[in-house]
Chain A
């Protein structure tokens, strides 16, 4: 060993700058980073130049995007700044950065030792602001839009009113009204009362429609009996050609609520209605109807609740079947993907790399993408979901299995062989006890994941409760969506707990 070499410490001193400091500053003013590059800080120059160009490019894009319709440069900038004040902040920061780069070029050409920590913080700050603008981050929206969101969210949080429903019954009673009244024909008689049925009549039973010129129609007094109390009754007309329309008065639909005995009385003005041109008969019979949607009988689970129960069961089984198929196919594959088993010959090593490669590719594609593909192949429904999760499970489980095979301890195998055990006995007593706990643990973990995934997979048509949830959200039916969310949350929580518990017992 040469003792002199001990005194040698690698010099960090950069070679002196190629250009004087002021020239470096001017060069960096023309092309940011050029000054640094010529001051022998090549890497710093390249980073600064590429960052600065990127920042300018992104700025130009965002400004153009903010003022889409304008064509003249100044107008575009003015409008963009007006609409998006963040862009003003950004522009100021970019200007500071530009000046800083010039200053940095001067400094570095003068004194080669400086580390530009603060300058790079500035660079990161500019990118942070750009990200803020590109991401359209808007914390204020949290506050301003909360009021609009609150009712919907409240329904999602406590949707249980929708979980029960009462059997419903349509009550309908009709009375004939003659239009118009004539001298020779008597107006239609009041309908007959039938015991137990709602009853509805009007006085008089003939009259004139309101005209286009504003001559008011005949006022009819209508009475109802035997309707369900405290439930809205709609008043409708059916004209002679069978069109049904609701009675309107002063722009509002006419409804009434019967009293405790199920009786009501309202006055209505006969509506305006164009008669068909060929209507040349003396009179026509119109039907006046009172319709009620009444609840009868005991409360029962609503259709939404039943659907949610059905679909959560379907969801759990999608996850379960995918796990089953996953295990069945991953088990044999895992042996081919275990290095310690496949290192015997070049052929087996090739198989190992092939299997590993395919598994890695399959695993890197999200189950949602697989679900979309599966829906194309087998159509909407739970089978598509099972296929998608199976594919992903095979890849994930085979990897985990093969890793636990790779990590088994060869000691017990040797020991069991030494007792005179044959191959099968050795596998049974030295290999399987070592791989079962991790296999069980990984499998349950996967089952857990699969059930969580199967709630999502319905969003792209893979069956299960996700399908319902997506549908209800799109229909703005937040109560029903809330039921689905609750079911998912409770199921996942229970399974999480159960799987953690089982894994703890086993390993």
Chain B
């Protein structure tokens, strides 16, 4: 269980990214965080695994306060949370296999990893992960030779290498086209349902939210302005929508079928 308590983040330049954010994520949830660019979604996700140090507040992960951890303990906690990114964050010039197996670094003695000596179990694990995501045949290609959707699957495979209990996904489909977006979220859904991983994912597209989430948080200017289930989103009133996306935002359609033709974008005027 993940518990966020009164989390606040003020950057060095004075930008207030998060203001007293509190919420709880139960194990096995698929939580989607929606909000405009700059609403603090990325900062929130990065505060959870401490890629960004919060200014105030606590992140409690299975009873351990992550904000107090340092060094080895922090790295051990990070191992339990796989992270995937909007721009995939692969090492473009390295092979797919090397990118994936790098997910194992937190489990290795430093000297072994410096020599690049991954053991057979890790290699097998990497191949299994690649198989599971359907890109085993791409293993020896350079990461930047793959398409966007394939690169994101490499990112997921890398996260899986950590045997995580939770996946943090920072707008994982924002650089992909709608078909691939569904594809990637289906993989996350599979992990959520088959492996019972907790998913915390930030998104732009409302129809994806309705399709995949078990719960939704709306973030605006660093504050939680909305909380509800996927059914609530379907029934979301215009006022609530404007709470999240601002006064000038307009909903394009109320359809939730998920068909491409009626694909819905939280469009802004």
Interface of A with B (CB < 8 Å)? 409, 411-412, 414-422, 424-425, 428-430, 433-434, 437
CB neighbours (8 Å) of A420 from chain B are: 75-79, 105-107, 162
Q: Can you list 18 contacts pairing A with B, beta carbon distance less than 8 Å?
A: A409-B92, A419-B78, A419-B102, A419-B103, A419-B158, A419-B159, A419-B162, A420-B75, A420-B78, A420-B107, A421-B75, A421-B106, A425-B114, A429-B105, A430-B91, A433-B93, A434-B91, A434-B93
A434 CA / B103 CA spacing, docked (Å): 17
Asked if B110 is an interface residue, CB under 8 A from chain A, the answer is yes
Is B51 in contact with A417, judged by CB distance below 8 angstroms?
Answer: yes
Which of A411, A424, A425 is within 8 Å of B89, CB to CB?
A411
CB neighbours (8 Å) of B103 from chain A are: 419
CB neighbours (8 Å) of A433 from chain B are: 91, 93-94
A231 CA / B194 CA spacing, docked (Å): 99
A433 CA / B82 CA spacing, docked (Å): 22
Asked if B203 is an interface residue, CB under 8 A from chain A, the answer is no
Most chain B CB inside 10 Å of its own CB: which residue of A414, A421, A428, A430: A421
Most chain B CB inside 10 Å of its own CB: which residue of A417, A419, A424: A419
Interface of B with A (CB < 8 Å)? 49, 51, 75-79, 81-83, 85, 87-94, 102-108, 110, 113-114, 155, 158-159, 161-162, 168
CB neighbours (8 Å) of A437 from chain B are: 93
A162 to chain B, nearest CB (A): 50
Ranked nearest first, the 4 interchain pairs of A and B with the lowest CB-CB distance are: A420-B106, A411-B89, A415-B89, A420-B79
CB closest chain-B residue, reference A420: B106
A154 CA / B12 CA spacing, docked (Å): 72
CB neighbours (8 Å) of A417 from chain B are: 51, 78
B125 to chain A, nearest CB (A): 13
CB closest chain-A residue, reference B116: A428
B171 to chain A, nearest CB (A): 13
Is B81 in contact with A425, judged by CB distance below 8 angstroms?
Answer: no
Which of B76, B87, B93, B104 is within 8 Å of A411, CB to CB?
B87
CB closest chain-B residue, reference A415: B89
Most chain A CB inside 10 Å of its own CB: which residue of B78, B81, B89: B89
CB closest chain-B residue, reference A428: B114
CB closest chain-A residue, reference B49: A418
A311 CA / B153 CA spacing, docked (Å): 57
CB neighbours (8 Å) of A429 from chain B are: 91, 102, 105, 113
Which of B79, B85, B91, B113 is within 8 Å of A425, CB to CB?
B113
CB neighbours (8 Å) of A430 from chain B are: 91
A437 CA / B51 CA spacing, docked (Å): 27
CB neighbours (8 Å) of B91 from chain A are: 412, 429-430, 433-434
CB neighbours (8 Å) of B87 from chain A are: 411
Is A414 in contact with B110, judged by CB distance below 8 angstroms?
Answer: no
CB neighbours (8 Å) of A434 from chain B are: 91-93
Is A421 in contact with B105, judged by CB distance below 8 angstroms?
Answer: yes
A32 CA / B120 CA spacing, docked (Å): 88
CB neighbours (8 Å) of A415 from chain B are: 83, 85, 89-90, 155, 158
CB neighbours (8 Å) of B75 from chain A are: 420-422
A412-B89, A416-B102, A417-B78 known; A424 vs B51 contact (CB < 8 Å): no
CB neighbours (8 Å) of B107 from chain A are: 420
Beyond the given A414-B85, A418-B82, could you list 15 further A-B residue pairs with CB under 8 A, ordered by the A residue number?
A409-B92, A411-B88, A411-B89, A412-B89, A412-B90, A414-B89, A415-B83, A415-B85, A418-B51, A419-B106, A419-B158, A419-B159, A420-B79, A425-B105, A425-B110
CB neighbours (8 Å) of B83 from chain A are: 415, 418
A434 CA / B113 CA spacing, docked (Å): 17
Which of A409, A418, A428 is within 8 Å of B113, CB to CB?
A428
A415 to chain B, nearest CB (A): 4
CB closest chain-B residue, reference A507: B93
A428 CA / B102 CA spacing, docked (Å): 10
A429 CA / B99 CA spacing, docked (Å): 9
Which of A411, A412, A414, A416 is within 8 Å of B105, CB to CB?
A416
CB closest chain-B residue, reference A424: B110
A422 CA / B102 CA spacing, docked (Å): 12
CB closest chain-B residue, reference A506: B93
Which of B104, B110, B159 is within 8 Å of A422, CB to CB?
B110
CB closest chain-B residue, reference A430: B91
Which of A409, A412, A418, A428 is within 8 Å of B78, CB to CB?
A418
CB neighbours (8 Å) of B90 from chain A are: 411-412, 415
Most chain B CB inside 10 Å of its own CB: which residue of A411, A420, A433, A434: A420
CB neighbours (8 Å) of A418 from chain B are: 49, 51, 78, 81-83, 168
A415 CA / B81 CA spacing, docked (Å): 11
CB neighbours (8 Å) of B162 from chain A are: 419-420
Is B114 in contact with A424, judged by CB distance below 8 angstroms?
Answer: yes
A427 CA / B107 CA spacing, docked (Å): 16
A420 CA / B155 CA spacing, docked (Å): 15
A416 CA / B90 CA spacing, docked (Å): 9
Is B51 in contact with A414, judged by CB distance below 8 angstroms?
Answer: yes
A118 CA / B108 CA spacing, docked (Å): 76
A97 CA / B77 CA spacing, docked (Å): 83
A34 to chain B, nearest CB (A): 57
CB neighbours (8 Å) of B89 from chain A are: 409, 411-412, 414-415
A421 CA / B76 CA spacing, docked (Å): 9
A209 CA / B102 CA spacing, docked (Å): 101
CB neighbours (8 Å) of A416 from chain B are: 102, 105
CB closest chain-A residue, reference B108: A425
A506 to chain B, nearest CB (A): 9
A411 CA / B42 CA spacing, docked (Å): 13
A418 CA / B155 CA spacing, docked (Å): 12
CB closest chain-B residue, reference A410: B89
CB neighbours (8 Å) of A414 from chain B are: 51, 85, 89
A416 to chain B, nearest CB (A): 6
A63 CA / B50 CA spacing, docked (Å): 79
CB neighbours (8 Å) of A419 from chain B are: 78-79, 82, 102-106, 158-159, 161-162
CB closest chain-A residue, reference B88: A411
CB neighbours (8 Å) of B108 from chain A are: 425
A396 CA / B141 CA spacing, docked (Å): 33
B129 to chain A, nearest CB (A): 13
A407 to chain B, nearest CB (A): 12
Most chain B CB inside 10 Å of its own CB: which residue of A414, A434, A437: A414
A422 CA / B109 CA spacing, docked (Å): 10
CB neighbours (8 Å) of B110 from chain A are: 422, 424-425
A437 to chain B, nearest CB (A): 6
A416 CA / B78 CA spacing, docked (Å): 10
A409 CA / B88 CA spacing, docked (Å): 11
B139 to chain A, nearest CB (A): 17
